[in-house]
Amino acid sequence: MKGKVALITGSATGLGKMTALSLARQGCHIAVNYVNSQAQAESLCREIQKFGVSSISVQADITDEQQLYSLVDTTEQQLGTVDILVNNAGPYIHERRLFADYSRDEIVRLVNGNLTGVMLLDHRVLPAMREKKWGRIIHFGFGHAVEARAWPHRAVYAAAKVGLVSFTKTLAIEEAPHGITVNMVCPGDIRGANKEKTIEEVTGVDDGLTPRGRSGSGEDVARVIEFLCQDRSDFLTGNMINVSGGLDPIRSRIKPE
């Protein structure tokens, strides 16, 4: 992956940050995207540059069409055309509520950020990937999204991500002849500081929830993305990969007797 340009949305902190560091270690130049976390984004760029690669921070909200296009334009101008697009960013409302209780603006923002914006970003970078006959596109979902089950109190978010499942499969088929793979990574219940921890740091810490017996970490997700982006991973496309330690986020854990 040395010399490839990776654009990772929402990468100043959390899972996006761990992904950026993972790809940078493999020699990728990194475009760090943020909305409000400017200081964290700039700090991450300095950390990434220690690996001997280039890195820029770009402010853009992917729920806004003009901003997402500007994000790609700036990346191309400063780093080159995008080889790897990781669609990590996506608005999420933590408060549980019925669909009827969402406002119109919240519905539009959730759909734009988790589905429409992702599709537009993919559409924007595809021509250059096709020209090079090489590209890696990663979408983010949630555990078991491929089953399209009901998720009460998460109606809008779940609908957008389930729509993204279908789009992932379709785009993977359409772009395979052009050397472009499209996959979805579905993290489990990885919360708070664990999003920026390594596997070693969470090993032995039982979260009382995940069947694997430990909390998930940002490294768990980043290493899967890194693998999917490798040159020899070109036969892996159209997949929804759960990185959950066996946890089902909708159904409660079945504890052993």
Phi–psi pair at 232, nearest 5 degrees: -85, 10
Is the backbone of residue 256 left (phi > 0), alpha (psi -120 to 50) or beta? beta
186 inside domain: yes
10 inside domain: yes
187 inside domain: yes
Domain interval for residue 120: 5-243
Whether the Cβ atoms of residue 230 and residue 4 lie closer than 8 Å to each other: no
CA distance linking residue 210 with residue 239, whole number of Å:
22
148 inside domain: yes
254 inside domain: no
211 inside domain: yes
What's the CATH number where 34 sits? 3.40.50.720
Whether the Cβ atoms of residue 238 and residue 217 lie closer than 8 Å to each other: no
231 inside domain: yes
Phi–psi pair at 125, nearest 5 degrees: -90, -15
112 inside domain: yes
Q: For position 251, what pLDDT does the model report?
A: 62
Count of domains in the chain?
1
The predicted model scores a pTM of: 0.94
The tens digit of pLDDT for each residue in 180-232 reads 999 999 998 888 999 999 999 999 887 777 888 888 999 999 999 999 999 99
